[in-house]
Structure 1
């Protein structure tokens, strides 16, 4: 937000004993500048500010700097690090003059092209381009070592100014054309053709030739000539190009002149070794130094350049202190500090005699209207003031009570706890209803109304037993009397309105979230506008407008900088000034626009005290703060609505920088794109709000986080997308924001491209038609062959299975039968027979399992688990002292080949047998989890064994061999005295 300032501010109220002034923003290497020696400054058509230094170029958008430096190994970088001039042509191209060459910047690519207006100078080691300035129609005049070239931006070529090279010539341009001064004569050239139009001999004006080092033109088209005939005392001559005469005798300066610029008021700013010298229409130079300026301007630091943009902002480049932004609107705001130091001011009042009173933490001060002198009246903390008749002032002194101060007498205590006229000596605010001669005293224990005629008091508070003495809250913060004589009392729980007789006629409670008018909050003050509307300030809900019982709310969603409001006041233009904890706000009722005014606009403080806002008879608004008394002249504060234009300043695809374009093309393999957007704003830049939406993906506007201006997408769909983005000074103004548009396309893989798919599909179909017959025939033949082989294998397995059953099985069964008969015949050999019987049973069992496995091409883990459980059921009764627990989890069935199945079953049997026979355990836990992968765990609580020593008796090596052959993962964990755990995973 920028401001238009009309005229010089009228001296405000007090003879300032000491004050400071905001409105200056410093920038240095700490903020991102390449160097603190700023040689030239320029603001382009997009609003970006360019700062040249002795070590590179800087682009600034209000929040961050982008640096451009000379790189000897990169021909697309600046030709030299020392920047001498910056300008822009009609195509939006940035031109940069350096100590050694001219450069043209491609903003989209971020690369420079080195330009040689005179090709013969291409290999010159040092070739200084002194000036670049616009001359109309988008063309530029470029001055290099006494020679001027014209750049035609439409035809893209240089035109050399007619005439010989003159190393003593100086140039400038105004509405009439290009001017050259040399040897006492002015030469006027046509700005387009470069042809000489006229010659003006200054000898005719009795002006002797002198050594001119620079020309500058002001807003009246006059030319200011820097005369350095005497280098120790340079002078300035001013030539009127309208009447072709010298305007004034020499303006003598005792300072080296680095540059001259002219602000919107046509005041000359002379950059010198000792700071800035200003020259107004009287041609009297004066140094711009005072206590209100930053130290960098007051300490005689060398200034190399100044620049004034079209928004009224002034930029200052120092030789060693970086750059300084000055907002001229700051002249509308002043700060009074009674004792020349930071001090809390609680109240201001202007008495009926025109004297100004300031209540502060150090005392009560008075500035008399006649002598304009300020003096201390009371050396005590004064919290509130009210104006009576005949110069009388009512003052609330901290912890003492209410005092009356007449012009010719000492302060007199009127009401306090001691004389029983007050319940509490803490007074927040005083207000006099002039029509009823009533003094309203706001305290933390209720409202006191003092009748100024008979000195009678009436107390009102929330807990009063009499209804007539009740108010919404006992903590009273403020009171205000409107044009109808009604007094509006602000409390911690609502608003109470009294008529001239001290009778409460209206009240609104604000102590509940269900309140119909104002939700739960504390009322901090009221004010009246020129239409009779009452404006209400709150401590959490922003402000409200009361129009004969109708409430209208304004808060952060409407553009307020914050909802905590400490004071409110209407100015003579019917605008509403709203003091919040996050800055001053100005509501224009006619347009509905709310502008935020902060320290960057020149307001010298941002924290305002409750009930401290006031207005004097000149219409100036005054507020108490912890810094001092803030004084505002509303007559000179006119915010200019600015529609911020947003554009892309940086782009990256897959985190690699790419050129900026209106249509970004992503390949199929490109996963991400990131864009940084900017809407240059230099006052309250950190409060600018950015939004974007990508139609088809994010159709609703997305608000970026504060100080974040980067938009990023990953894995975009394969299509063309429209990205829109915008910016505004606050969220309420976003709907009026200018929308910028660009496109992002992501190309699908070639096999998803329609230009490829259609012909490829046709060719593929033709190929399939011819190939399918061949493949089908071959496939059928192959399937028949495989089927025959598989059938043969299956038959062979059946044959082996039958043979095992018919022969080996029969023999094993016979052996078993014979052993039983022998056992009956010979009881002496029962032990041997028992072992032979067991071996025969094992043989039969093993044969059955082998036959079972060979009968199938695939075996499910569930059937294998069932077979293992059957085995457990058969052998468990033989070990009554061992408890066997089996837990089976079937999550996902899995099929196995016969070879893997028999190996797994054998290893499970081996592990179970080891636990039963050798572990000396009392409990065996078996877990079979059927999933992908399969997990089998067999764990006992036996004696365990030392895994570091070989133990061949347990068949462990056999398990490992089987696991390796079957492709299973077998793990054995055991420790002496802690049991054994064996797991198989497949």
Structure 2
């Protein structure tokens, strides 16, 4: 046996080892604490955790930081310095930027800018503030004045004060907006303090007056707030004023060096009243102040280098209290969470190496939406979104700027011994997390084989109370003594057949006798007798059907029945029989055992009921030993990915699964999955094999490609909130409808509940959004058009639209609803009533007119016919009388009379035929019409059904025909239709094929062809129209083009012909969506 024993030392600070490899092979970094210090830290952590679970072990510990979602220019922001944030009554989020006002629906951003030609556009592009009042009005303060958003018309009304722009040409701007308890609006500006009455539309301006000591202290106003007794507090650049509305006087407060209880700094950017009626003052240089009403003193919170829990930056720009009572501060150097009861500040900062950190450290604005998500607007970093209340996942990862963090993010092994968490990584070796301090220490890399081997630790299990077993990627097996730091190494030695068979050690397991089992990559299965130190090898033997199936063993499980299971990557599952020392192979045909469906095994797990679960590249597989069968669960059942790395069982018998697409909670009883992604704070969507552990308290660890995640299953509550959907946009023929474009569309779709459409609005699209922002990408949607279909159509967040074509006249209700991130659907829907007007020829008055005209014509025709017949009869009578005598005895009389009857009969038949042809012919183009199509399609359908032969339909639509009509006029439009019909007809040359005008600019070709034959006809049509080159200046192509949808079926009497038309119509829609002028 080949055995090495090394000793290690503890270092206080990370440093390169200067000791020779033979003297020292591994160094462990740690920090020593006194018992008293540790006790205080633990107590502080517990109190802080109970108050607000989102914060980590202690402020000096590695932060279990939020995962911030960023919005920037690439997401549609018009500018990345965000001065203000608000949410309107419909749920849209608004951002005030320095280049326009932005409205966000969770997926898309609409920008509003000043348009000189539009008096109802926003007054100026540089927006300083945005505010929603108690009546849900949205107010915007900018350079030049005050505006109010009008949601119905999607534009703005302006309320400008004449004094905001002075005679010297100085442009005034509104810094902030505030509504007092009397419903009056207060405006802070660089030109003074404004008090605006919404009811009377009048302003009162307050300016400093040297002759009046009770006037406002300065005209450069930055912030306004109201205290619990109705006083208005005003923050300026040289101090604070308190306005008493009852006696119309101001009391001023300024910093005094002689008074430690005075205002800490005169430059006050923000005043904020919290839920406990405390007034907070954010100063620019003096930190955070709280005004004590009882003592009339200011209490200061400033940077204190001797206090780790103090404020880290004294330049405070904004303040917000969230729904949980936490105070948030936006500063010039990060975002701070402040527990005012414990006086503890927690900082969140931008990290260049972490794309999920805060996007920028200068915070301009803070806002909490109705779902509890927090928004932080920055200077030059756009917007950040995070949700403290759902941050139950703690994420540990490497931070290059913090030497006490995890030193590598690729985590393959985790073990929690109650005091420390041991983490095996790739590239960083073994790490140790002190659970009390939250600090990581790690082994250095001395120039020995052990040090290099420790760069990747694959598995960690407990050897004894003082020792751990570690399998490494290339340096064999290690036993580490936690008390002494000694490491015993077991490696393969060619001259020692009792040594480890291969240095690439993988899965580990300990049997009831205390033997250690090691899976290797190339050396089969090994058993180590810890007393003798001897290894026994189990390898494949082609002559022995009961040998192990492969030399590459990835994972092991010693189950509760005393059996050893082995899993490999490509050679499946084996079970070892200790009595016979033989293997049962579940990968090949066997009389006794079933075949495993997927042989690429990541892990094997036994639940509390003794069920064996095999985690593979093809989902999770449950072994039912009583039935001798395997049952698989995959993505079709709700699993987020078929690649499953690890499994742990919680107290409620749920299995928590780490996968290649997030973390999943699986309920084996009702076969349901709840899936969690990186958006909710887990380390990343991709995890790693063997990287999972459950400690004694029920906490679970899962490691992956970006560190590891720690959580307790009981703290993860299922999201039961169902988001409400809002309509966001309306399109006709894929063109957005401008508000006010017609009387039918005078209101924005988000502010109406009914819409009317004309009969020729053939392609209508409705866009929608749930307006739930923290999990927008995990939301699904369903919609139903009552009156058209009772079916619900499901779509995802990338396709938030419903399109309907050629709706018949009548009334409909479009219903839309959304699921939450857990896939739960509510009953509540957002409804929109839709009315499709009848064409004039379908209206009652028109039909009545036609009937009246027809009746009159019929009466006149009868009268004329009767008169003509009478005249004719008179003439005939005379002729008959004259000729009767001559023909009376002759056969000639009989013959001529018969010919006369035949002639009159033939004329009547011709008239009837002409009338019938007129009823099935399009008057404009001369081709067959819709009536003929309905008759002919039914006939062709029956013929092809009897013959079991294909029937094809080409649905042809002229591209941008509405624009053509609008540009060239209806006469040119009619000529265009005639020319197009003529060109298409020239291609249709088989007697069984028919061309019909379907309506408007749509044509239909019925052809006795399969799909290939029909494609050939369609390509000839496209070629003919290209050669025709009919000019169309408003088209992208410059000439008239068509889009063609192809549908082919072998007809059946069980299916209506309308299905074939539907297939062609759907294909036409895809052709138009793909850019037009093409066949789909």
Q: Distance in 2 between the 1:521 and 1:783 partners?
A: 99
Counterpart contact for 1:355–1:368, Cα < 8 Å = yes
Counterpart contact for 1:352–1:387, Cα < 8 Å = no
664, 668, 671: which one aligns with 2:762: 671
Partner of 1:412: 489
Residue 614 (1) aligns with residue 614 (2) = no
Residue 239 (1) aligns with residue 298 (2) = no
Against the structure 1 CA distance between its residues 775 and 361, is the aligned structure 2 distance closer, same or farther, given a 3 Å change threshold? farther
Against the structure 1 CA distance between its residues 129 and 536, is the aligned structure 2 distance closer, same or farther, given a 3 Å change threshold? farther
Which residues of 2 match residues 111-190 of structure 1 at below 5 A? 111-115=155-159, 126=171, 128-133=173-178, 141-145=185-189, 171-173=224-226, 179-180=232-233, 186=242
Counterpart contact for 1:44–1:87, Cα < 8 Å = no
Q: Tell me the CA shift for residue 785 of structure 1.
A: 14
Counterpart contact for 2:414–2:421, Cα < 8 Å = no
Q: Distance in 2 between the 1:548 and 1:440 partners?
A: 27
Counterpart contact for 1:332–1:632, Cα < 8 Å = yes
Q: Distance in 1 between the 2:536 and 2:287 partners?
A: 74
Q: Distance in 2 between the 1:757 and 1:104 partners?
A: 46
Q: Tell me the CA shift for residue 610 of structure 1.
A: 1.7
Counterpart contact for 2:470–2:480, Cα < 8 Å = yes
Partner of 2:271: 215
Counterpart contact for 1:354–1:369, Cα < 8 Å = yes
CA deviation map 1:547-574 (0-9, x unaligned): 9879886543454322221122235676
Counterpart contact for 2:498–2:534, Cα < 8 Å = no
Query: Which segment is superposed worse, 691-700 or 606-615?
Result: 691-700
Partner of 2:281: 225
Which residues of 2 match residues 332-351 of structure 1 at below 5 A? 332-336=394-398, 344-350=410-416
Residue 56 (1) aligns with residue 100 (2) = yes
Against the structure 1 CA distance between its residues 766 and 687, is the aligned structure 2 distance closer, same or farther, given a 3 Å change threshold? same
SS state at 1:700 partner = coil
Partner of 1:693: 784
362, 384, 389: which one aligns with 2:459: 384
82, 90, 94: which one aligns with 1:38: 82
Q: Distance in 2 between the 1:484 and 1:148 partners?
A: 80
Partner of 1:441: 518
Partner of 2:321: 262
SS state at 2:153 partner = coil
Which residues of 2 match residues 260-409 of structure 1 at below 5 A? 260-264=319-323, 266-276=325-335, 279-281=338-340, 288-289=348-349, 302-328=362-388, 329=391, 332-336=394-398, 344-350=410-416, 354=420, 356-365=422-431, 373-376=441-444, 378-380=451-453, 381-407=456-482, 408=484, 409=486
Residue 70 (1) aligns with residue 138 (2) = no
Partner of 1:81: 125
Q: Tell me the CA shift for residue 226 of structure 1.
A: 4.6
SS state at 1:670 partner = coil
Partner of 1:102: 146
Residue 767 (1) aligns with residue 835 (2) = no
**Aligned residue pair count:** 772
SS state at 1:613 partner = strand
Q: Distance in 2 between the 1:932 and 1:785 partners?
A: 50
Against the structure 1 CA distance between its residues 271 and 290, is the aligned structure 2 distance closer, same or farther, given a 3 Å change threshold? closer
CA deviation map 1:773-823 (0-9, x unaligned): 344347769999999xxxxxxxxxxxxxxxxxxxxxxxxxxxxxxxxxxxx
Against the structure 1 CA distance between its residues 705 and 372, is the aligned structure 2 distance closer, same or farther, given a 3 Å change threshold? closer
Q: Distance in 1 between the 2:872 and 2:231 partners?
A: 94
Counterpart contact for 2:606–2:612, Cα < 8 Å = yes
Residue 25 (1) aligns with residue 84 (2) = no
Structure whose CA Rg is larger? 1
Partner of 2:505: 427
Against the structure 1 CA distance between its residues 593 and 296, is the aligned structure 2 distance closer, same or farther, given a 3 Å change threshold? closer
Q: Distance in 2 between the 1:319 and 1:484 partners?
A: 62
Against the structure 1 CA distance between its residues 497 and 202, is the aligned structure 2 distance closer, same or farther, given a 3 Å change threshold? farther
Compute the TM-score of the two structures, normalised by the length of structure 2.
Answer: 0.60
SS state at 1:315 partner = strand
Q: Tell me the CA shift for residue 476 of structure 1.
A: 3.7
Against the structure 1 CA distance between its residues 299 and 384, is the aligned structure 2 distance closer, same or farther, given a 3 Å change threshold? closer
Partner of 1:7: 53
Q: Tell me the CA shift for residue 401 of structure 1.
A: 3.5
SS state at 2:841 partner = helix
CA deviation map 1:117-160 (0-9, x unaligned): x79989999564443456689x67443556565778xxx77698
Gaps of 5+ in 1: 190-194, 788-855, 858-928, 934-986
Q: Distance in 1 between the 2:797 and 2:96 partners?
A: 29
Partner of 2:659: 580
Q: Distance in 2 between the 1:333 and 1:932 partners?
A: 70
Which residues of 2 match residues 406-805 of structure 1 at below 5 A? 406-407=481-482, 408=484, 409-413=486-490, 419=497, 424-433=502-511, 435-444=512-521, 446-452=524-530, 469=546, 476-481=553-558, 489-491=566-568, 492=570, 519-520=597-598, 522-527=600-605, 536-542=614-620, 554-571=633-650, 576-587=655-666, 594-617=673-696, 619-632=698-711, 638=717, 640-654=719-733, 655-657=735-737, 658=745, 659-660=748-749, 661-704=752-795, 707-729=798-820, 733=823, 735-736=825-826, 738-754=828-844, 756=845, 759-760=848-849, 763-764=852-853, 767-768=856-857, 770-777=859-866
SS state at 1:248 partner = strand
SS state at 2:865 partner = helix
Which residues of 2 match residues 890-905 of structure 1 at below 5 A? none
Q: Tell me the CA shift for residue 56 of structure 1.
A: 0.8
Q: Tell me the CA shift for residue 71 of structure 1.
A: 1.1
Partner of 1:853: none
CA deviation map 1:221-266 (0-9, x unaligned): 21113567xxxx445431356x585462475898554322234554
SS state at 1:751 partner = helix
Q: Tell me the CA shift for residue 77 of structure 1.
A: 1.2
Q: Distance in 2 between the 1:762 and 1:722 partners?
A: 33
Q: Distance in 2 between the 1:522 and 1:414 partners?
A: 27
Counterpart contact for 1:140–1:151, Cα < 8 Å = yes
Q: Distance in 1 between the 2:826 and 2:561 partners?
A: 39
Against the structure 1 CA distance between its residues 332 and 766, is the aligned structure 2 distance closer, same or farther, given a 3 Å change threshold? same
Counterpart contact for 1:344–1:625, Cα < 8 Å = yes
Q: Distance in 2 between the 1:589 and 1:930 partners?
A: 62
Counterpart contact for 2:459–2:470, Cα < 8 Å = yes
SS state at 1:610 partner = strand
Against the structure 1 CA distance between its residues 438 and 300, is the aligned structure 2 distance closer, same or farther, given a 3 Å change threshold? same
SS state at 2:691 partner = coil
Q: Tell me the CA shift for residue 103 of structure 1.
A: 2.5
Q: Tell me the CA shift for residue 307 of structure 1.
A: 2.4
Counterpart contact for 1:78–1:103, Cα < 8 Å = yes
Q: Tell me the CA shift for residue 80 of structure 1.
A: 1.6
CA deviation map 1:371-412 (0-9, x unaligned): 974323632144333220142222323345334344544423
SS state at 2:619 partner = coil
Query: Which segment is superposed worse, 485-494 or 384-393?
Result: 485-494
Against the structure 1 CA distance between its residues 15 and 386, is the aligned structure 2 distance closer, same or farther, given a 3 Å change threshold? farther
Against the structure 1 CA distance between its residues 736 and 561, is the aligned structure 2 distance closer, same or farther, given a 3 Å change threshold? farther
CA deviation map 1:177-219 (0-9, x unaligned): 6744599875577xxxxx789999999x997697866421123
Against the structure 1 CA distance between its residues 278 and 503, is the aligned structure 2 distance closer, same or farther, given a 3 Å change threshold? same
Counterpart contact for 1:494–1:511, Cα < 8 Å = no
